[in-house]
Amino acid sequence: MTAIKQVDLKTLARELLTTGKVEVFIGYQAATQPLTTAPLIIHGALGAGHAQQASNPEAERDLARQVEALIFDDRCEMNLANYLHKFKDRKVAIVVKGCDSRSMVGLLQEKQVDRKDLIIIGAPCRGVIDRRHVGSEIYAACRECPVHNPVIADYVIGAPVPQPDLPEITPEMEALRKASPDHRWERFHKEMSKCILCYACRNLCPACYCKTCFADASKPKWVGRTDDPADAMMFHLQRLMHLGGRCTGCGACVRGCPMQVDLRLYNDHLRSHVKQEYGFMAGMDEAAQPPLAMYGTDDCNEFIR
């Protein structure tokens, strides 16, 4: 981290946008509700497809006003890496927290973005405030975050933050693992019964970039849309499988769920399985082979007759 230049967010954004180094700047702005922020997507003076012209003073004022609205603090919860697919083949600058930077690594690893089109602005982060629990606690995913400082960045907008020690397995997870299958089923059933199949979790997930999701396929129709929890289960179990070895644990799905379905439990379990079994953490090393895209001849064989 030390080698990367520390900069001021707004100064950098202004420079990148006005000089045409990037066409699009993806950052955060305050939203209308307390403790919330929204993405702020700024198109540069030289950006195509938008009405702003370099010589247009009104457009310049507009740009300046938008840059002024940029913020970064402990309310910035969205994983902005998710927006990159909207700006494919454009020069983009993006603000990423530690967790989000892992999503960036994942996207680079899976060849979904081109590094030369990107300027990555790292934002060291102590955790995002859980706006659902007033009392200013940070989100569970943040409490358990192993990467408070971005793993990949061209610039950083703050001093590195200390990385707290983490228990290998959280107490909640440990309790659930020890619980009986019936109890685990009850919990799963309860979570799935809340789901209204709005697909916010999928649409917020940087790793969910399939052009046509299995959930939208009609031949075969994998996922029904009834209120039978079996439909939500089908959707989430398949999505969990797709994210095995790819989920970085950013928690975007949980924070964005309008029904507060706790998908984190299940993603966390698979993530720790992958770590334990294959020593792999998603989104740490662009050159690493994803474990579910490879195999070992000495993999566990105990569960097979």
Q: What is the dihedral of CA 149, 118, 83, 19, to 10 degrees?
A: 110
Between CA 122 and CA 157 the distance in angstroms is 6
| Other beta carbons less than 10 A from residue 33's beta carbon | 9
Report in angstroms how near the CB of residue 159 gets to another protein at its nearest. Answer: 28
Which lies closer to another protein via its Cβ, residue 124 or residue 191? 191
Strand-strand pairing, 24-30 and 155-156: unpaired
Contact 92, 84 (CB under 8 A): yes
Report in angstroms how near the CB of residue 39 gets to another protein at its nearest. Answer: 4
Which lies closer to another protein via its Cβ, residue 164 or residue 224? 224
* Whole-number Cα distances in Å, 58 to 55, 67, 248: 9, 14, 42
Report in angstroms how near the CB of residue 295 gets to another protein at its nearest. Answer: 4
Which lies closer to another protein via its Cβ, residue 157 or residue 232? 232
Between CA 109 and CA 290 the distance in angstroms is 9
Q: How many CA atoms lie within 13 A of 284 on its CB side?
A: 12
Which lies closer to another protein via its Cβ, residue 115 or residue 273? 273
Report in angstroms how near the CB of residue 222 gets to another protein at its nearest. Answer: 6
Strand-strand pairing, 118-122 and 37-43: unpaired
- Contact residues for 66 (Cβ-Cβ < 8 A; gap 6+): 40, 42
Which lies closer to another protein via its Cβ, residue 241 or residue 288? 241
Report in angstroms how near the CB of residue 42 gets to another protein at its nearest. Answer: 10
Which lies closer to another protein via its Cβ, residue 166 or residue 230? 230
Report in angstroms how near the CB of residue 277 gets to another protein at its nearest. Answer: 7
Which lies closer to another protein via its Cβ, residue 1 or residue 179? 179
Q: In degrees, to the nearest 5, what angle opens at C-alpha 154 toward C-alphas 148 and 156?
A: 45
Report in angstroms how near the CB of residue 157 gets to another protein at its nearest. Answer: 21
Q: How far apart are the first and last CA of the chain?
A: 49
